[in-house]
Structure 1
């Protein structure tokens, strides 16, 4: 992730201060649940590398287990890793759990006191925020934030997942609540504006896959295909799961598939230049690599691929792929009213490349 060092240092300091303030309120079992082994490259780091976006145990201390003061300090840490708009979107997504609870008829599950629970978001700090290498994770249904700090600077902010269920909610006075609306609309506008020959290149499959192609894998790699929903849970059986059948057409390639920005007209390029900000601007100013795409040469390397219908309200999937960039979107479930989006850096998700270099240098 190419960012300004000063900004990543400033953000890392804010993260460390917020994490320390939260940890200071914890003791006993709560502290044990809210902390984990410091980041590394061995088996001790396995828990930090696990991330989810389904309503499962994400690992850590949940908000509803915390006092109001602890909750506030937890959210201060969450905010330290997000822009103002990013934090507002996360808060909106969490609030949708109440909307979903009503829409689904207040469902009950024997293994959970409340199934659709806006307090069921987990925070865990890995390592010592006062040390040189540490990280934190915040996650629950449709939110997964993964941050790593190395030598006092933010080294990784991905995978960064946000979803919305419902994706569209009516408001009073004819208003509509769509927390991820622009993330969907910008891509569709690009594809619907393509001439026939480019549209054929952009659309990988007539039917959209049922979920994100890279799912919740720790690293994104060529050949990735969607996993069944049962595999994207902490309770899933051990070992790798078989991908969803019939999704070969949308498999992740070693080289980007779809239409490159260089092939688009001026309108398409302008829309494509704006689309990454819906993902990358989740991070605080200066730690996001979004300015990279102000450069035409960098933008030209980004490819847009689509699957499914281009009609609003119909199931669809898209991804943007380029050097150190993988953005995925799907809105296929619940009548295309259930959206998933993720920002990934295939070379440095969870900071694995940075950690390897750092630890190798430290032990020379």
Structure 2
């Protein structure tokens, strides 16, 4: 099976193909020979990838500088933050008002108690019966706003346009992926604000930060996020060195219309996972079934570098080529969120590891019901998708995270 084969498979699922001409050499330590791995493996951000500057990364830097140029002094002060693990790990899937204890809207307010447990229906990160993972911003990096960076409620129309240009340069061009997905996420939060969520929701409650100085030398991170969204692109010497943790959730999961635009960014992810699980025969399905139930994802905010030591599920080497194509299609609904050339390279690395990648699930396997959960766990890739109760609206809604065991935070650790 080839990467081109998976792109053809994706088209059957209405998933966007990524560009195949990869200008970036994005080194995942598990993709080369043992000698190459021993030389390239490192926990530092500057050595976690071997990369050369690309036209795409230069475009991101130029767009970042253009966005910063539209801001006033106070806005730039909020935007520019230090490149530290404390700041990089200060992300969450919660509405910002919940993190700061200022919530007033329909999702419930107040500060999460120790351990990060949010309101009923939005529980964080562990199998049923286990202690929840931390949901609030990790200690040591909290700001007065709950997230670091510049809140988008201060942006003028001109500044929003410049920010959108930056996000488009840094993310994928596919339909319902990358930049298009971000636009729909913002619209979905506006929908929540107008349908019971109140002021705690909406596109004005997101944050953008530059951790370090955007440049073609050195290391810096573009951080953008808010409720149900976290983008974390780290660049080293002008090339993408890491794009995870990358969080995506959506409420509602059903299709809605906002300002005459259709909002449905997570439905293809759900369909892709359902297709994987539906393809399993009885023996494979038994191997893939987890013994625990899950209320949410395991590796959410505050659970960094906490990958399980032992993988569970059906192993990729026990799948047919067609099933491997379905797995890779599901993976690409997350990898495709980054810039196209980078996505092609990362996807090829994950494809090379498919035989040692595991698929597991809990719940019905249909990926439609509360409690349905699926995981893809490889030597490098980690993706979780979990359905739980709505917070503002009735019905199931997903939380999902893409992490990379080598390049999470571009290798930066606390």
The TM-score bracket by the shorter chain reads: 0.7 to 0.9
Is it true that 1:169 corresponds to 2:255 in the alignment?
yes
CA distance in 2, matches of 1:46, 1:176: 37
Q: 1:7 to 1:332 in 2, by over 3 A?
A: farther
Alignment-derived partner of residue 322 in structure 2: 267
Q: Among 57, 61, 66, which residue is 1:21 paired with?
A: 66
CA distance in 2, matches of 1:324, 1:206: 23
SS at structure 2 position matched to 1:220: coil
Alignment-derived partner of residue 302 in structure 1: 357
SS at structure 2 position matched to 1:275: helix
Is it true that 1:31 corresponds to 2:76 in the alignment?
yes
Could you tell me whether the CA contact under 8 Å between 1:8 and 1:286 is conserved in 2?
Answer: no
Could you tell me whether the CA contact under 8 Å between 2:184 and 2:264 is conserved in 1?
Answer: no
Could you tell me whether the CA contact under 8 Å between 1:96 and 1:165 is conserved in 2?
Answer: yes
Is it true that 1:340 corresponds to 2:393 in the alignment?
no
Is it true that 1:180 corresponds to 2:266 in the alignment?
yes
Could you tell me whether the CA contact under 8 Å between 2:252 and 2:395 is conserved in 1?
Answer: no
In structure 2, list runs of 5 or more residues that go unmatched: 1-25, 29-48, 97-145
In structure 1, list runs of 5 or more residues that go unmatched: 109-113, 223-252, 357-364
Is it true that 1:285 corresponds to 2:377 in the alignment?
no
Alignment-derived partner of residue 210 in structure 2: 125
Q: 1:29 to 1:257 in 2, by over 3 A?
A: same
Within a 5 Å distance, the mapping from 1:60-99 to structure 2 comes to: 60-85=149-174, 86-99=178-191
Is it true that 1:48 corresponds to 2:88 in the alignment?
yes
Per the TM alignment, residue 58 of structure 1 is displaced from its structure 2 partner at its CA by 2.9
Alignment-derived partner of residue 361 in structure 1: none
Alignment-derived partner of residue 58 in structure 1: 147
Structure 1 stretch displaced more, 312-321 or 138-147: 312-321
Is it true that 1:219 corresponds to 2:304 in the alignment?
yes
CA distance in 1, matches of 2:409, 2:222: 10
SS at structure 1 position matched to 2:340: coil
Q: 1:6 to 1:220 in 2, by over 3 A?
A: closer
Alignment-derived partner of residue 225 in structure 2: 139
CA distance in 2, matches of 1:279, 1:183: 8
Q: 1:206 to 1:47 in 2, by over 3 A?
A: closer
Could you tell me whether the CA contact under 8 Å between 1:313 and 1:336 is conserved in 2?
Answer: no
Per the TM alignment, residue 7 of structure 1 is displaced from its structure 2 partner at its CA by 7.6
Could you tell me whether the CA contact under 8 Å between 1:49 and 1:218 is conserved in 2?
Answer: no
Q: TM-score, normalised by structure 2?
A: 0.68
Q: 1:283 to 1:5 in 2, by over 3 A?
A: farther
Per the TM alignment, residue 350 of structure 1 is displaced from its structure 2 partner at its CA by 1.0
Alignment-derived partner of residue 27 in structure 2: 2
Per the TM alignment, residue 195 of structure 1 is displaced from its structure 2 partner at its CA by 2.2
CA distance in 2, matches of 1:176, 1:27: 34
Could you tell me whether the CA contact under 8 Å between 1:210 and 1:333 is conserved in 2?
Answer: no
Q: 1:313 to 1:61 in 2, by over 3 A?
A: same
Per the TM alignment, residue 284 of structure 1 is displaced from its structure 2 partner at its CA by 0.9
Alignment-derived partner of residue 231 in structure 1: none
SS at structure 1 position matched to 2:376: strand
CA distance in 2, matches of 1:123, 1:93: 15
Per the TM alignment, residue 146 of structure 1 is displaced from its structure 2 partner at its CA by 0.7
Structure 1 stretch displaced more, 5-14 or 261-270: 5-14
SS at structure 2 position matched to 1:282: coil
Per the TM alignment, residue 157 of structure 1 is displaced from its structure 2 partner at its CA by 1.0
Q: TM-score, normalised by structure 1?
A: 0.77
CA deviations over 1:134-172 (Å, ceiling 9, x no partner): 222001111111121112221111111121110112569
Per the TM alignment, residue 294 of structure 1 is displaced from its structure 2 partner at its CA by 4.5
Q: 1:190 to 1:318 in 2, by over 3 A?
A: same
Alignment-derived partner of residue 248 in structure 1: none
Could you tell me whether the CA contact under 8 Å between 2:288 and 2:313 is conserved in 1?
Answer: yes
Alignment-derived partner of residue 100 in structure 1: 192
Could you tell me whether the CA contact under 8 Å between 2:350 and 2:380 is conserved in 1?
Answer: no
Could you tell me whether the CA contact under 8 Å between 1:50 and 1:218 is conserved in 2?
Answer: no
* Aligned CA-pair RMSD: 2.6
CA distance in 1, matches of 2:226, 2:354: 33
CA deviations over 1:334-362 (Å, ceiling 9, x no partner): 26521112211122211135x99xxxxxx
